[in-house]
């Protein structure tokens, strides 16, 4: 009998300079040396899937705005940008799910995770799509369907 031991671990960065790490080790016996490569590939895929599935639940997130349940309310953009995004959403009664989808489509991340540069482009997109008046600047409405309105 041949003993085959495989391990897989991954460490992922999280907000507020936190990280989570998970590791799985599996030991099995195989009878034929010719099956080592096949069994090794199978175990690697199994271990990788197990670790990745486990890491999808970040659990506790430390930080000044975290609530200890993985729900961190901090924004990566500036406070002024956050307020302007919230103001546009409120003023134009925009659908929050559509707002999140727009951020995911354009930047591959949720609205709260947008950095200052990304938030600036996101705000421009919201203003363009709503014909919004932010109080200090006015933009023309771009014709076409507006997927952001909830009505």
- In tens digits, what is the pLDDT along the chain, a chain of 151 residues? 889 999 999 988 776 667 788 899 999 999 999 999 999 999 999 999 998 888 887 676 665 544 444 444 689 999 999 999 999 988 988 888 888 888 988 999 899 999 999 999 999 999 988 875 555 443 433 334 455 554 4
3-class DSSP state of 132: coil
Task: Show the tokens assigned to 57.
Answer: 């639940």
Q: What distance in Å separates the CA atoms of residue 31 and residue 15, rounded to the nearest whole number?
A: 46
Q: Which residues contact 45 (CB under 8 A, 6 or more apart)?
A: none
E strands along the chain, which residues? 2-14, 18-30
């Amino acid at each position: 009998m041949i003993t085959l031991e495989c391990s897989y671990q991954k460490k992922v960065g999280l907000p507020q300079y936190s990280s989570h790490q998970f590791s799985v080790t599996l030991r099995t016996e195989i009878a034929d040396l010719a099956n080592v490569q096949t069994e090794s590939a199978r175990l690697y895929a199994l271990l990788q899937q197990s670790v990745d599935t486990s890491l999808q639940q970040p659990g506790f997130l430390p930080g000044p705005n975290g609530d200890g349940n993985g729900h961190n309310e901090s924004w990566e953009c500036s406070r002024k940008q956050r307020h302007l995004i919230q103001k546009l959403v409120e003023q134009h009664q925009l659908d929050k799910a559509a707002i999140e989808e727009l951020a995911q489509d354009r930047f591959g991340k949720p609205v709260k995770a947008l950095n200052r540069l990304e938030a600036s482009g996101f705000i421009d997109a919201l203003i363009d799509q709503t014909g919004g008046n932010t109080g200090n600047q006015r933009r023309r409405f771009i014709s076409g369907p507006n997927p952001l309105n909830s009505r």
